[in-house]
A and B are shown apart, each in its own frame.
Chain A
Amino acid sequence: MDFDAYFQLIGFGPKGWGALLLQAAAMTLAVSASAFAASLVFGTLGAWAKLSGVRAAAVASETYTTVLRGIPDLLVIYLFYFGGSSVMTAIGHMMGHEGFLGLNGFTVGTLAVGVVAGAYQTEALRGAFLSIPKGELEAARAVGMGRLLMLRRIIAPRTLRFALPSMGNVWQQVLKESALVSVTGLAELMRQMHVAAGSTRMPFDFYITGFLIYLALTTLSGFGFRAAEVHTMRPERRS
């Protein structure tokens, strides 16, 4: 490999792709973060439904997690990308808008990756809620906390703390799955690498660069999650 030429190719010079690659990496992080946030919403609803004690809700949530964990994520992305467009177009027609309306890649990525990751998040949050010691909930009730106050002061912080390790895994998964959103044409890392590889005819140089960028992103955010774990576990530590 010719390193001078390589660094010119991925660098920030006039012929370099550096700026675009950085932008693309930022887009990967943005769509991953937004999908992760969506997964927390879906996961919270799913876990709540499973724990609610209402049979219909539990069955619905069980179906959600079984189905979404059993089919390829790529199909879910296609569903939101193509299905979303036809639903949007139909809504547009009803409101008097002629022609085609589409969902953009970012929205598709957020929803599709988010709903898949939400299935895993459901299990993480459910397990975490179940590991809150019963006494804490009883104590909260005994001091007269209302349901909302108890949720805000006891249940939410405790669940998040116990779920943090699994949430770290879900985040890694979301970050890697965001590469699939490239099929919608969203200019995230994978897509940008593909474009650069095609127009320069140097596919190996770009894909190996993308490889290293993803590795850096997963490793660094892994450190972040571990630091958060150590931080939130401080009060739990025994000498």
Chain B
Amino acid sequence: MDTVFLAETMGKLLAGLPLTIELAIISISAGAVLATILALFRATSPIAEAIVRGYVFTLRGTPLLLQIFLIYYGLGQFAEVRHSILWPFLRQPYWCAILALTINTSAYGSEIIRGGLQSVPAGAIEAGRAAGMSRLLLTRRIVLPIAIRQALPAYGNEMIAMVKATSLASIVTLMEVSGIAYAIISETYRAIEVFLCAGAIYLTLNFLLTRGLAVLERWLNPHLVQSRT
């Protein structure tokens, strides 16, 4: 094995790591906020439920790549879009990728959070109400903390899926880790070595994410941690 080539490739690939992390962090956080809003909105009325259900259904039933293309290439077909104030954003692959990733993860995330919301015991909500909490305070202090704690393991899987999904941004010209990997492969045709390096980067990233989530889970569930006495 050619260690010089491997080290060189690793160096080039690591230059794309900040963009990969940036795409992942922005779309995961924005997606989580949107997902929470969708899950809470869904519970407000039957019409709201139908809207959110349709949103989730269409986004989970189609490939992410197509969603990115629809936003990046598709929207530009309309003169109204090209002349709107959003065009400076929508013409850039960076914002299109973030928008598509965010919308996509919000659909999966809202279902996970909905499951979490359903697991909040009715008694906890009643107790909050009996103590005179307003709806907002109740949501912030009682409902969301319990729901998030329940939803975290499943949401962790979604986050890992998103880290992997950022690689699709390379197809709309963004030079993150996969984009650079593709460029090196098509230049050198040494697919196996490049794959090893890029794969190691993504695996490390996902490993760290899994570890971090495990710590967070333990911190959110102090009552489940057994004291070692």
Contacts and interface: CB of A to CB of B under 8 A. Distances in A.
Contacts of B73: 197, 203-204, 207
Interface stretch (A73-81, A139-147, A227-235): A73-81
A70 B195 contact: no
A207 B170 contact: no
Q: How many B residues touch the partner, as a band?
A: 35 or more
Contacts of B198: 71, 75
Contacts of B7: none
A166 interface: no
Interface in A186-239: 190, 193-194, 197, 201-205, 207-208, 210-211, 214-215, 218-219
Contacts of A211: 58, 62, 66-67, 70
Contact of B61 (A177, A201, A204, A214): A214
Main secondary structure of the interface of A (DSSP, over half): helix
A75 B61 contact: no
Interface residues of A, number: 42
B74 A204 contact: yes
Interface in B161-219: 164-168, 170-171, 178, 181-182, 185-186, 189-192, 195, 198-199, 202-203, 206-207
Interface in A149-199: 172, 176-180, 182-183, 190, 193-194, 197
Interface in A63-93: 66-67, 69-76, 78-79, 81-83, 85-86
B191 A83 contact: yes
Contact of B62 (A73, A82, A215): A215
Contact of A72 (B74, B77, B178): B178
Interface of B: 57-58, 61-67, 69-70, 73-78, 160, 164-168, 170-171, 178, 181-182, 185-186, 189-192, 195, 198-199, 202-203, 206-207
5 contacts: A70-B203, A72-B167, A74-B171, A75-B202, A78-B185
